[in-house]
Chains A and B, each alone.
Chain A
Amino acid sequence: MVKFHFSRKQLCIPYALFLILFVIIPMLLILFYAFTETVDGMIRFSFANFVNFFTSTAKLSTLLMSFTVAIISTAICLLIAYPLAYILARSKFKRKNVLLMLFILPMWINFVLRITALRELLDLIGLLGTQNYLNTIIGMVYDFLPFMILPLYTTLEKLDNSYLEAAADLGGNKFTVFTKVTFPLSMPGVISGITMVFMPSMTNYVVSDTLSNFNITILGKLIDQYFTTYDNWHMGSMISIILLVIIFITMLVTGGFKDGKQEARGANLW
């Protein structure tokens, strides 16, 4: 009889192979496609896509517009979520977890259905078809607000009250205590929330398509178009690389994601 023999370490082999095959190689393929072009059925090395992107007014204005929409959506999310998370986290209410649940519950419901529901509401109040940018921003806020609330709540809830009391004892008024103690201590939550909202707001084209009647092209939509409509996979890959560079810069500026996304996804609530 062959004895079943293994070491625990070897259990990571299937996952390692999976990551190489379906994560690393595909990412390298994007890099390959971005810096090549197909001429007469032959693939050859080229900077044409790179040059094309940065000399095309249409593409650059899409990038700029997408950036603006994402920044405004993220700012609105932060402005709503911070006071809300603060109120929830500092409340004396015994079962504030239940209260929090009410605010983040929709993130587990299919977002296409939720955005379509929002579309119906916007249609009813006459915004659909007239206010494409406004609708897109409302949609991004609607979809991603829970991802901002949750990390903020988590950091604010863990905040040690004695710091705030000490600051107050030392003569800080409420405003000073907030700006000098509370806010700086909640920065990890703020950063985690911003990274969770900003990037999807640039790329989740289901929201912009549904709420602008396909009139607004955000960066994610542009990538989709080069793959499905224009059938130019090289350009689509180049735009993806530019997007990855933006994600990377955001990470450098904000100091990385850590496990924020999992937390914001509410993994610990299950």
Chain B
Amino acid sequence: MVKKILSVALCAAVLVFIYAPILLLVVYSFTDSNVIGRWEGFSFALYGQLFRNAEIMQILFNTVWLALAAAALSTVLGTAGAIGIFYSRRRVAKPLQAASQIPVINAEIVTAISLALLFSMIALYRTYFSLIVGHMVLCTPFVVLSVLPKLKQMDSNTYEAALDLGATPAQALFKVVVPQIFSGILSGFMLSITLSLDDYIVTAFTKPPMFDTISTYVYNAVRNGTNSSTPALRALSALIFVVMIVILLAVNLRARKPAAKERAK
């Protein structure tokens, strides 16, 4: 009994720790006050300010656009890479996989400055190109890591069977291999989006000077002490917290059901 109470108490305490800051921001996004802690009555004023703030809207657009582009490119490159690695001889596959692990293990700041060194050398420092490549370096290895296990689970005879039945290698690849590893490709894509949306350090070192994502904008707002003078950012954070929590719960609760059934069999 005591054990049960302690267990519940620990879980509750950790949940409070995790969600208290988020809840605080959400609650105070519904009052027209410059500082958190001073309640000025319920209002949607901050949301009004948020949607009229062209700068923040542009940044929101930049962030989403960058995440989608980086994730799409990473998914194509990483999926092709994983298929190539899977069918290559060990002599080729091993070093490729090792190199692919470097950005995964490396500290983000080291990845960031290594790219800064490269791009300043070839005069592409702080361009859209360096930004996209920077995000691809972060994301692509995770796509490879998501797709490779699916290739290993795949029945390797189906590709040969497709060829025997008259399919071209390209047809066999797209109609037989890709559908079998599709869940891996999809999770690689989703993971890439979250990695890109979450990134600060690589973005800061590769972005064009006048380009900002939510991460760089908010960090700079804190640095310049303008955080509290832009209460609209509070509404933005609150909105992102709520939207993300709803999406994540929906995706995971739906995805869980068939998986759980499969395991029960």
Query: Which residues of A are at the interface with B, using a C-beta cutoff of 8 A?
Result: 4-16, 18-20, 22-27, 29-30, 33, 80, 83-84, 87-88, 95, 97-99, 101-103, 105-106, 108-114, 116-121, 123-124, 142, 145, 199-200, 202-206, 209-210, 214, 220, 223-224, 227, 233, 236-237, 240, 243-244, 247, 251, 257, 259, 261-262, 265-270
Contact = CB atoms under 8 A, between A and B. Distances in A.
18 contacts: A6-B170, A10-B84, A12-B83, A18-B81, A22-B136, A26-B115, A30-B113, A87-B7, A98-B252, A103-B14, A108-B248, A111-B200, A120-B21, A220-B107, A240-B107, A244-B110, A247-B106, A251-B105
Contacts of A237: 113, 117
A108 B21 contact: no
A26 B252 contact: no
B143 to A, nearest CB: 10
Contact of A243 (B24, B28, B110, B115): B110
B62 to A, nearest CB: 13
A interface, over-half SS? helix
Lowest 7 A-B CB distances belong to which pairs? A12-B84, A15-B81, A26-B114, A11-B84, A117-B21, A270-B187, A8-B87
Interface string B193-204: 011011011000
B57 interface: no
B50 interface: no
Given A14-B81, A19-B100, A114-B22, A236 B107 contact: no
Contacts of A20: 99
Contacts, number: 256
Contacts of B21: 114, 117-118, 120-121, 142
B15 interface: yes
Interface string B151-170: 00000000000000000111
